Chain A
Amino acid sequence: MELEKYLLQTDEQQEVFDFYSQGPKGNIHKRIAYMATTIPNLWQLVMGDYNIKTDEIDFLNVTNNNDRDKVLATVGSTLYSFFCKKPSVMVYAKGSTQARTRLYQIGINSMYESIVQDFEIFGELDGEFERFTRDVNYHSFIVIKK
């Protein structure tokens, strides 16, 4: 089944993605960004509410806009775009809070069948990254393109 996703805008390198979450709380400007780290080929995925006035991302705000699955599918779709430009890198993802990390887990679980066709996923459990298994609550994730 094709998951519903938001329309995205991105920069020319496809590292920053903007979209508007739409729901009962209104249109919330969201930003997903892939940021280079100090480790070569390791990038970090971050996401939050973009504040146009301060030009900053609020990583901790909880929107509750009743569109969780659509947002998660949108995040998933950015992986495809990001890896189009940088197929050999690795992406690290950890939520700003435990609840948000849990959301990532839910997102990976719900899109697992599609994701594993194209990506390998590792989850961190007690200091060890292992191949992702559904229904295990990991602390962070690594995604690579197959």
Chain B
Amino acid sequence: MKPSQIESLDIKRKPIIAINKKLNSARNMELPQFKIDNIENAIKNTNLLELIDKINKERITKP
């Protein structure tokens, strides 16, 4: 890897990350059904949406 490819994104934590454009297409991958179910179950069976709503309101009211 060329030094110029290395981008230090957070000096405090020092994660060393190289941008690889080939990974752009990986953003479109399909998740297995059980991963989709995890989110849907959380939406249906927990207070997740209330929590999200609360966080969003807190962010709006913060100066």
**A-to-B contact residues, CB < 8 Å:** 2, 5, 7-18, 31, 33, 35, 37-39, 41-42, 44, 46, 55-57, 59, 77-78, 80-81, 84, 88, 90, 92, 94, 96, 114, 122, 124, 127-129, 140, 142, 144
Q: Which of these, B18, B26, B38, B59, contacts A7 with CB under 8 Å? A: B18
Total A-B pairs in contact (CB under 8 Å)? 115
Residues of B1-41 contacting chain A, CB below 8 A = 9-10, 13-21, 23-24, 26-27, 29, 31-32, 34-35, 38-39
Chain A contacts for B35, CB-based, 8 A = 35, 44, 46, 59, 96
- Grouping DSSP codes into helix (H, G, I), strand (E, B) and loop, the B interface class, with mixed when no group exceeds half, is helix
In the bound assembly, the distance between CA atoms of A49 and B34 in angstroms comes to: 16
